[in-house]
Amino acid sequence: MKKIVVALGGNAIQAEDNSAAAQQEAVRKTMKTVASMIESGNQVAITHGNGPQVGNLLLQQYKGASENNPAMPLDTISAMTQGSIGYWMQKALDDQFKFDNYPSQAVALVTQTIVESNDPAFEHPTKPIGPFYTFNEMQKQQIYHPDYTYKQDAGRGYRQVVPSPKPVKIINAPIIKNLLQNHFVPIAAGGGGIPVVVDHGRLKGVAGVIDKDFSAARMAEDISADELVILTTVDNAYLNYRKENQQAIGKVTVNELKQYLQEGQFAAGSMKPKIEAAIEFTEKTGKPTIITSLKNAAKLNDGVGTIVYNE
Ligand SMILES: Nc1ncnc2c1ncn2[C@@H]1O[C@H](COP(=O)(O)OP(=O)(O)O)[C@@H](O)[C@H]1O
Ligand SMILES: NC(=O)OP(=O)(O)O
Q: What is the pLDDT of residues 156-210, one digit of tens each?
A: 899 999 999 999 999 999 999 999 999 899 999 999 999 999 999 999 999 999 9
- Mean pLDDT, the chain, as a whole number? 93
Considering only CA atoms, which of 240, 302, 301, 305 is closest in space to residue 278?
305
Q: Which runs of E-coded beta strand occur in the chain?
A: 3-8, 43-48, 106-108, 112-114, 127-133, 149-152, 158-162, 169-170, 185-187, 194-199, 202-205, 227-232, 238-239, 247-248, 251-253, 289-293, 306-309
Per-residue pLDDT at 99: 62
Q: Is the CB of 215 under 6 A from ligand 1?
A: no
Rounded distance from Cα 249 to ligand 1 centre (Å):
13
Q: What is the pLDDT of residues 234-277, one digit of tens each?
A: 999 999 999 999 999 999 999 999 999 999 999 887 899 999 99
- Bridge partners (DSSP) of residue 232 are 293
Rounded distance from Cα 104 to ligand 1 centre (Å):
32
The whole-angstrom separation of Cα 14 and Cα 50 is 9
Q: Return the residue whose CA atom lies nearest to atom 8 of ligand 2.
A: 51
Q: With 90 as the cut, is the pLDDT of residue 295 above it?
A: no
Residue-wise DSSP of 131-158? EEE-HHHHHHHHHH-TT-EEEE-TTS-E
- What sign has the CA pseudo-torsion 147, 154, 272, 190? positive
CB 126, CB 168: distance < 8 Å:
no
| Mean pLDDT value across residues 128-136 | 95
Q: What is the pLDDT of residues 51-102, one digit of tens each?
A: 999 999 999 998 788 899 999 999 999 999 999 999 999 999 988 876 666 5
User: Nearest ligand to the C-alpha of residue 306?
Assistant: 1
Q: Which of 11, 18, 56, 310 is catalytic?
A: 11
- In ligand 2, the atom with minimum distance to the C-alpha of 48 is 6
Q: What is the pTM of this model?
A: 0.94
The whole-angstrom separation of Cα 294 and Cα 224 is 23
Rounded distance from Cα 215 to ligand 2 centre (Å):
10
